[in-house]
Amino acid sequence: MEKHYQTYNVDCRDGIKEIAGDSIDFIVTDPPYFIDGMGSDWDDKKLKKKASKSGVVGGLPVGMKFDRAQGEDLQKFLEPLCAEFYRVLKPGAFCVVFSQGRLYHRAAMALDMAGFEIRDMLGWKYEGQPKAFSQDHFIRKDKNLSESEKEKLIAELDGLKTPQLKPQIEPMALAQKPKEGTFVENWKKYQVGLMNTKVSLDGMFPGTIMDVSKKVRRDESDIKIDHMTIKPVCLISHLIKLFTKEGQVVFDPFLGSGSHGVAAIAANRKFIGFEIERKYFDIANKRLDKADSSADLFATVR
């Protein structure tokens, strides 16, 4: 049986150069975030060690330390890549890049500077865990304060915590490569550039906030996946169905555990994915193989 996906164990910055211009129908991707050392050199061991520590890094929990350089590094990493996204996408095609609240603007700027039109900010809504913490511990340890001063300060700061609202939304930049002529002219030539409004997550007109409940996500965990930032397949499938037709080509340069590929195959699309880490590449291939052998692919493609 013909395989409907191609995956490569490469650095996407090299791999993407092999893709022909104006050949991809949709990019949906979730790049590394550059938080507290989680940079472009995605080191699985370091990442796990950091995340497993419930302690603090420089006064804030892992992932929440504010450092302007993280955003700058992320943008520098994404700028040349977004220029490549622009090159490989068909005119009028869409690109969705996942980010997080405090780094979203960096991803949007990288896309903007590459020539994309920023169409919107989308949000995946989920049930977050509160991460803010009180200062009691630091006050108790302060050798410059007497016991009564400590008790007074702790009482004064009752309820006051570090500035981290419970995260409940993951933003995505929705960008479009400028189309050639009108929407209809572009569609006739490239079959992209319009959105399918018959697709819905909740029975309503598709909106910018995509609510994917825990129950839906749990139902998807058919195999045990060892990856820290897995995206729900139904969310990616929804995005793919909104912005592409059956049989079109979806590309994810940061494959991870392969959720975007599984979503593309389940939606009867073709898929290309890159992953730098051998371990994740193998996990992704296993999932993609399974999806490809069970999907009723292209049954409805004319």
Ligand X SMILES: C[S@@+](CC[C@H](N)C(=O)[O-])C[C@H]1O[C@@H](n2cnc3c(N)ncnc32)[C@H](O)[C@@H]1O
By the criterion CB under 6 A, which residues form the site for ligand X? 11-13, 30, 32, 40, 42, 227, 229-231, 253-254, 256-257, 259-260, 274-277, 280
- Provide, rounded to whole angstroms, the least separation between the CB of residue 12 and ligand X: 4
- Closest approach, Cβ 34 to ligand X, in A, equals 10
- Please say which residue, 162 or 289, places its beta carbon nearer to ligand X: 289
In the complex with ligand X, the residue whose CB is nearer, 169 or 194, is 169
Shortest distance, CB of residue 260 to ligand X, whole angstroms? 6
Find, among 1, 2, 12, the residue nearest to 272 by Cα.
12
Q: Which amino acid is at 155?
A: A
Q: Which is nearer to ligand X, 98 or 190 (CB)?
A: 98
Q: How far apart are CA 118 and CA 96, in angstroms?
A: 10
Q: Which residue is nearest to ligand X (CB)?
A: 256
Residue labelled with tokens 């893709």:
19
In the bound state with ligand X, the residue whose beta carbon lies nearer, of 13 and 65, is: 13
* Closest to 277 (Cα-Cα) out of 261, 302, 257: 257
CB 65, min distance to ligand X, A: 19
**Residues forming beta bridges with residue 58, ordered by sequence position:** none
Closest C-alpha to 116, from 135, 153, 91, 150: 91
Nearest distance in Å: CB 223, ligand X: 12
Element (H, E) at 4: none
Cα(32)–Cα(22) distance, rounded to whole angstroms?
A: 25
Q: Which is nearer to ligand X, 206 or 258 (CB)?
A: 258
